[in-house]
A and B are shown apart, each in its own frame.
Chain A
Amino acid sequence: MIDPLPKVKEIRKAFMEHTHEHAPHLAHHFSEMEQQRESAKLGMWIFLLTEILLFGGLFTVYAIFRAWNPDMFYNAHKHLNVFLGSINTIVLISSSVTMALAIRSTQLGNRKRTLIFLAVTLFFAAVFLVIKYFEYQHKFELGQLPGKYYTYTGIEGNNPHIFFSIYFMMTGLHGIHVIVGMGLITWIMRKTSKNIFSAEYYTPLEMTGLYWHLVDIIWIFLFPLLYLVG
C-alpha cells in the first residue's frame, strides 16, 4: 500500500481532529451522532413510504374489484372469520403498544424491561401468524383458494375466486412483512442483550419500531376491508 506523503498525513490529522473524539457508533462520513441518527430516521421513513406505495397497489386492486363486484365481495367475505380477525387486530395493536414501550424502556436506560417488552411483541407476532395459519388451513380445506385453484361452490356472485385471490395476496404480503418483522425484533433483542444500546444510542431499535408500527397500520386497514364488508 502506498504510504501517504507526510504533509498529507498532517492535513488528514487536522481534518479528522474535530471528529477524533467521536461516539463509538459514529460512522466516519458523519460529523456528529445527531446527523447520523436523523439520517437513519429519514432513510427509514422513505423506506416506509415505499412500503405504503407497494401495499397501496393491492388496496387499489381491492377497491376496483369491490366497486365492480359489490355483491360478490359481500357474499365472499362472510366466509372469513370475523372473530379470529378481531383477535388478530387486538394482538397486533397490543404488539405495537409493547414495541413502543420497549423503545421507551431503552430511552429510560432499562435494558431488562426492553427485553421483556420485545419478547412480548415477538410473542404477539407469533400468535398473529398462528391464527392466520389456522385461517388459511380452513380455506385450503374448503377449496377457497386464489385464482385457478379455487374450487369452492358455496358463494354467489361473479368470479368469487377474485375475492380470495385478493385476500391471500394482501394477507400473504402482510404476513411476509410480519415474519420479516419478527426477524428484525429477534436481531434487536440479541443486540439489546449484548448491551449495545443505551439512552444515547438506540437507532436500530427505533427503526425496527417504525417498521413494526407500519405493519400494524397496514393491518388496521386490511381488517375492516376484508373482514367487515358491510
Chain B
Amino acid sequence: MHEKYGSSISHIVPLRIYLIVGAALLALTGLTVSISLIPLGGWNVVVALTIAAVKALLVAFFFMHLLYDKKIFLVIFTVAILTLAIFVILTMFDTMQRGRTNPEVARPFKEKAIIYENKEMPTQRVDSINQPPTETR
C-alpha cells in the first residue's frame, strides 16, 4: 500500500525517547526554578535563558522531529531565530548606547509616568493639531 501512494511515512520515534525527553524537560524546569533562588546577579538571566534554550531545543528536535526530518525545516527554524536575533541585537545596540555621547538621553523617557502624578487623570488625549495640546507634562 505504501508503494502505491509514495512513501509518506515518517520515522516513528521510540516511546522511550519521548518519555526521556519529557522527564528531562521537567527536570530542567525544576533546575531553573531552583537556580533562580540563588542570587547570581547578572548571571541569573544568562543561566535561565540557557536552560530555556536547551528545553526549547529538546522540544524542537524530538517532539517536532527536527532531528529526524529533512534539513529544510531546521533551516526555517534557524532563519527565524537569526532574524529575531538581528532585530534584538541591533535595536538593543541603539537603546543601550544612547547615553554614550549625551548622557541625558540615555533613558529618554519619563522616570515617572503621568498616571502616578495624579491618580484620577489618565493619559490626556491630544486634540487635532489646530488646537494646542491641553495636557501638561
Decide whether A and B assemble into one complex: yes
Chain A residues within CB distance 8 Å of chain B: 21-23, 26, 32-35, 37-38, 41-42, 45-46, 48-49, 52-53, 56-57, 59-60, 63-64, 67-68, 82, 86, 89-90, 93-94, 96-97, 99-101, 104, 107-108, 147-148, 150-151, 158-159, 161, 199-201, 209-210, 213-214, 216-217, 220-221, 223-225, 228-230
Would A53 and B32 be within 8 Å (CB), given that A60-B91, A200-B1, A216-B59 are in contact? no
What 4 pairs across the A-B complex have the smallest Cβ distances? A230-B44, A228-B36, A224-B48, A56-B84
Q: Which of A94, A217, A220, A229 contacts B22 (CB 8 A)?
A: A94
| A41-B73 in contact (CB<8A) | yes
Q: Which of B36, B84, B112 contacts A159 (CB 8 A)?
A: B112
| A158-B81 in contact (CB<8A) | no
8 Å CB interface, B107-126 against A: 107, 110-113, 115-116, 119, 122-123
| A107-B9 in contact (CB<8A) | yes
Q: Which of A82, A93, A101, A200 contacts B33 (CB 8 A)?
A: A82
* Residue contacts A-B, CB under 8 angstroms, 16 given: A34-B7, A41-B69, A42-B73, A42-B76, A63-B92, A82-B33, A93-B22, A96-B25, A97-B63, A100-B18, A148-B123, A159-B113, A200-B5, A216-B63, A223-B52, A229-B36
Give the Cβ gap from B63 to chain A, nearest Cβ, in Å. 5
Alpha-carbon separation in the docked complex, A224 to B44 (Å)? 10
| B79-A49 in contact (CB<8A) | yes
Q: Which residues of B contact A37 (CB under 8 A)?
A: 8
| A220-B59 in contact (CB<8A) | yes
| B76-A86 in contact (CB<8A) | no
Give the Cβ gap from B16 to chain A, nearest Cβ, in Å. 12
| B39-A230 in contact (CB<8A) | yes
Residue of A nearest to B4 (CB): A21
Overall SS of chain B's interface: helix
Residue of B nearest to A108 (CB): B12
Would A45 and B63 be within 8 Å (CB), given that A52-B84, A86-B33 are in contact? no
| B9-A56 in contact (CB<8A) | no
Alpha-carbon separation in the docked complex, A229 to B36 (Å)? 7
| A49-B76 in contact (CB<8A) | yes
Residue of A nearest to B83 (CB): A53
Is B105 interfacial (CB-CB < 8 Å)? no
